[in-house]
Amino acid sequence: MGWSTADIKPENILLLDSHCQQVKLADFGLAQKRGTMIRFITGTLPYMAPELCSMALLDGQREVTAPPLSVEPSLDTWAFGVVIFCILTGYFPWDRCMDSDDFYQEFAGWCRMEQRSYTEKDIPPLWKKFTPEAMEMFGKLLALDARDRCSVGEVRGYMEMEWMKKT
């Protein structure tokens, strides 16, 4: 069946050796079985997928108006993509995955391009420092549509790529 931690962030990633070869996740307080229907979730906004941000109670909001959401591993895939961005840059790509966030809006616009380009002129400003290979990975980890995000197995595949090992 599988589980989703629904709270992947640097504070919940344990490095067990000095070479960062052994990594474990911690804090499963928000974990849910795959397929569980939820109406509300808490978490850390910058790491939350767009479909989760629509379910988070924001400042001044009294109730969630979004329809129930099925918990899937794609929620963790998204959060992992944000963690990788933070590790490589030292900052968040956005505050929250909502159209009101300009940085998210720039990235979402790039993701929505039919013929997505990996050339520097087409990539949003915060993302220009990455190689085309890295942008391809981010495009799969952070796909706006959860059905288009890569699987956990594909995530592992990206981590095994030679260019990633050099970072």
Distances (CA, A) of 148 to 48, 91, 164: 16, 25, 22
Give the integer Cα–Cα distance in Å for 139 and 112: 10
**40: amino acid identity, one letter:** F
State the DSSP string of 28-78. Answer: -TT-EETT-EES-----GGGS-HHHHTTSPPTT--S--SPPEE--THHHHH
Which of 7, 27, 102, 122 is labelled catalytic?
Answer: 7
Closest CA to 77 of 133, 135, 21, 143: 143
7 in active site = yes
Asked whether the beta carbons of 87 and 67 are under 8 A apart, the reply is no
Residues serving a catalytic function are: 7
